[in-house]
A and B are shown apart, each in its own frame.
Chain A
Amino acid sequence: NAGVMQNPRHLVRRRGQEARLRCSPMKGHSHVYWYRQLPEEGLKFMVYLQKENIIDESGMPKERFSAEFPKEGPSILRIQQVVRGDSAAYFCASSPGTSGSGKNIQYFGAGTRLSVL
Chain B
Amino acid sequence: KQEVTQIPAALSVPEGENLVLNCSFTDSAIYNLQWFRQDPGKGLTSLLLIQSSQREQTSGRLNASLDKSSGRSTLYIAASQPGDSATYLCAVKWGGSQGNLIFGKGTKLSVKP
Contact = CB atoms under 8 A, between A and B. Distances in A.
Contacts of B96: 98
B102 interface: yes
B46 A55 contact: no
Given A93-B101, A102-B49, 19 more contacts: A31-B98, A33-B100, A42-B89, A42-B105, A42-B106, A43-B103, A44-B103, A45-B101, A48-B98, A48-B100, A55-B98, A56-B100, A98-B98, A101-B51, A104-B31, A104-B97, A109-B43, A111-B43, A113-B41
Contact of A110 (B42, B49, B97, B100): B42
B43 A105 contact: no
DSSP majority for the B interface?
A: strand
Contacts of A41: 105
Interface of B: 4, 31-32, 34, 36, 41-46, 49, 51, 89, 91, 93, 96-98, 100-106
Given A101-B51, A104-B93, A105-B49, A45 B100 contact: yes
Nearest to A111: B43
Contacts of B102: 45
Q: How large is the interface on A (under 10, 10 to 19, 20 to 34, 35 or more residues)?
A: 20 to 34
Interface string A75-117: 0000000000000000101000011011111111111010000
A35 B46 CA distance: 15
Contacts of A33: 100-101
B46 A99 contact: no
